[in-house]
Amino acid sequence: MATMMILRALTGDLRGQEFAFSKPAHAVLGRSRSCTLRLPGDASVSRQHCLIELDEFGAWVQDLGSLNGTLINGENIGLGVRKPREGDATMHQPRRHELQDGDELRICNNIFAVVLNEVPCNKEKVGHTSDEWHMSLCV
């Protein structure tokens, strides 16, 4: 059995779309064209806003130092991050937070319902290395 995570867009430009991730996966969400899942049309979203990971231990989200934060069920998970002091080269990253089935993930004006499923693994190789991820659009 392999875990699958579906992000169901409830609001924003992606409303009505579903994005499925099968493990292992890691995806950056944000405005940048380089993001795995692009959130266009919302200037309040950072270029690289948050990281979604799916591994053998569960599903995770980590804010990447965004200006407006990433919220899980209304709680800002990016709070408490110290900005580096002048001359301090050390960056403090927010810790990653475990996602649960039914959670609400909010990235500015984009709200996603998190759906976690166990699905049979078909053993089809998606990429060339174990670091590559698989994401599909469910219509």
The confidence score (pLDDT) of residue 1 equals: 32
The confidence score (pLDDT) of residue 17 equals: 97
Rounded Cα distance, 110 and 16, in Å = 11
HSE, CB side, 13 Å, CA atoms: give it for residue 118: 3
Strands (E) across the chain are located at 2-9, 18-22, 25-30, 37-38, 50-55, 58-63, 70-72, 75-76, 97-99, 104-107, 110-119, 134-138
The confidence score (pLDDT) of residue 131 equals: 43
Q: What is the pLDDT along the chain (139 residues), one digit of tens a residue?
A: 348 999 999 999 999 999 999 989 999 999 999 999 999 889 999 999 999 999 989 999 999 999 999 999 999 998 655 555 666 555 566 689 999 999 999 999 999 999 999 876 554 444 433 444 455 555 4
Phi, psi dihedral angles at 78 (to 5 degrees): -95, -5
CATH number of the domain located at residue range(s) 2-80+94-120 in this protein: 2.60.200.20
Asked if residues 69 and 84 have their Cβ atoms less than 8 Å apart, the reply is no
HSE, CB side, 13 Å, CA atoms: give it for residue 16: 2
SS3 state of residue 70:
strand
Rounded Cα distance, 28 and 36, in Å = 5
The confidence score (pLDDT) of residue 95 equals: 84
DSSP bridge pairs for 136: 20
The confidence score (pLDDT) of residue 78 equals: 83
Write down the residue that tokens 């990281």 correspond to. 51
> Which pTM was predicted?
0.77
